[in-house]
Amino acid sequence: MKFILFFIAAFLLAGVASLIIFLNMQPVELVLTPLYENTYYHLPRMPLGLLVVLSVVFGFLLGYIFGLVQKIL
């Protein structure tokens, strides 16, 4: 039963992420640093929805890693 609920939750999460990406297809460029000596670092152009979904996933991953480190120490 737990496996079925996990599968349904994963399916719904993938559907919501896909919908966010589909509805926000405008390409954006994320600038990571301000202009300094005519050089700045940026991410390549990608759809806004993909940037949002990747940011949320990366945030959860960092929180999970920091939680594991805190539990170890």
DSSP output for 14-71: HHHHHHHHHH---EE--B-S--BTTB--BPPPEEHHHHHHHHHHHHHHHHHHHHHHHH
Determine contact, residues 29/45, Cβ cutoff 8 Å.
yes
Query: What is the total count of domains within the chain?
Result: 1
pLDDT at 7: 95
Q: Could you read off the pLDDT of 22-51 as tens digits, one per residue?
A: 999 999 998 888 888 888 888 899 999 999
Q: Which amino acid is at 11?
A: F
Please say if the pLDDT value at position 4 is more than 90: yes
Can you give the residue range of the structural domain that contains 8? Answer: 2-72
pLDDT, tens digit, 9 for 90 and up, residues 11-29: 999 999 999 999 999 999 9
Cα distance between residue 42 and residue 19, in whole Å: 26
